[in-house]
Amino acid sequence: MLKRKEKASGFCRVALLSATLLLAGANVTAQSTVFNIPSSDVQSRGSVYLEADFMIHFGSLREGGYQEYGSRLVVGLPGNMEVGVNGFYTRAEPAEPMELQPNFKWQFYENEKKGLAFATGVLISTPITRRSSGTTSTQLYVVGSKSFEGTYGPRVTFGGYRLFGSLDDDIDKNGVMLGLEQPLTKRISFVTDWSSGNNDYGYVVAGAGITFS
């Protein structure tokens, strides 16, 4: 999918999250990602997190529009670690491969009193269909977050990443990541994040997170 974002250089891709289903007892601050970028959270030992995503870039498919459907499954491990797998299908022109994304994260620092947390991890993206038109890549990242006090206090996430793999020469290998989670009610939050770079990760996303259980 790196080639699709390569063609989109010169403008930001804006997507809308229609619904995020947080199941299996997970809460909003325990998700594996802010929206698309990794969060500084990890699941507690033995807990399971499941998320369903729908994202859309408005416009006809011939003009660069697309719809993306996906899910994320994360399991908490001992030692402030988690392991998971994501699956995504993108409806676009030209047709794109379905992707599988195994991932691992370790939260190496947390201070609840100061509202700070830091984590590092790896995410591998590999096509499982149309393999001849897809590229396997690995993203290594470090992220931190700052939570602000208050009933609906926001949380800001920041970090950077490095890409490895058989990537085209004009694909950006490094980038920064920023995210914002702003609770609006106990179950609804405004969520947005941004990754820099002319690659498969370099775009802006904004939408709503809804906790059902």
User: Which is it for strands 174-183 and 116-127: parallel, antiparallel or unpaired?
Assistant: unpaired
What integer pLDDT is reported at residue 93 of this predicted model? 81
Residue whose tokens read 């229609």: 18
3-state secondary structure 115-178: CEEEEEEEEEEEECCCHHHCCCEEEEEEEEEEECCCCCCCEEEEEEEEEEECCCCCCCCEEEEE
Whole-number Å distance between alpha carbons of 40 and 68: 24
Non-local (6+) Cβ contacts of 75 within 8 A are 43, 46, 47, 48, 49, 82, 83, 84
pLDDT tens sequence across 38-92: 999 999 999 998 888 777 777 777 777 888 888 889 999 999 999 999 998 888 8
Is the Cα dihedral 145, 99, 50, 103 positive or negative?
Answer: negative
What integer pLDDT is reported at residue 8 of this predicted model? 36
How many CB atoms lie under 10 A from the CB of residue 71? 14
Burial of 194 per CB tally in 10 Å (0-12, 13-18, 19+): buried
How much is the pTM?
0.79
pLDDT tens sequence across 99-116: 999 999 999 999 999 999
pLDDT tens sequence across 10-40: 333 343 433 333 333 333 334 578 888 999 9
